[in-house]
Amino acid sequence: MKEIDVKARIEQAVENFKNGYNCAQSVALAYADLFPVEVETIKQISAPFGGGMGRLREVCGAVTGAFMILGLEHPVTIPNDKPSKAANYTSVQRVGLQFKDQMGSYICADLLKIGRHPENPNPEDRNAEYYAKRSCAYCVAVAAEILGKELMQSKK
């Protein structure tokens, strides 16, 4: 695996978000080049997870994007491969709980301090008002940092 410059990956994830990618895409794309997967595939597969899974406001998309990368780092391709599943789940739990410890939750609705119910599926316009009322860019940065540290740790 390439050397990981976590600070640069955080900046890339936030830039991805500011360029219009959703929170899941932003984190996943910041690390996608470390794995043998097409960038377009990462964009497509992570797209439904923005807004806490299609604006359902469930698990934060930034965290979900990190989990997707952990699936590439700790793949489980054989259904009954318990050691691989354990490695995958251990990594996912570690990242999820670190995010929760730092942010107070990994639930989108909690992070945004809004109701936990489906919203209009149409995305909001990305403008100054949007960025001022949402902590999403910060969530992306936090998830990208935790993910980067986890990936570095798994290579030791």
Provide the token pair at 34: 């470390």
Looking at the structure of the chain, the number of domains it has is 1
pLDDT over 90 at 116, yes or no: no
pLDDT in tens, 85-98: 999 999 999 999 99
Range of the domain at 79: 6-154
Q: Is residue 55 part of a domain?
A: yes
What is the model's pTM?
Answer: 0.94
Q: Give the Cβ contact number of residue 117 at 10 Å.
A: 9
Predicted local confidence at residue 132, as pLDDT: 83
Three-state DSSP state, 107: strand
Amino acid identity, residue 119? Answer: E
Higher pLDDT, 54 or 1: 54
Q: Is residue 125 part of a domain?
A: yes
Please give the C-alpha separations between residue 15 and each of 10, 30, 55, 81, 88, in angstroms, as whole numbers. 9, 9, 21, 37, 28
Provide the token pair at 27: 């984190």
Q: Is residue 1 part of a domain?
A: no
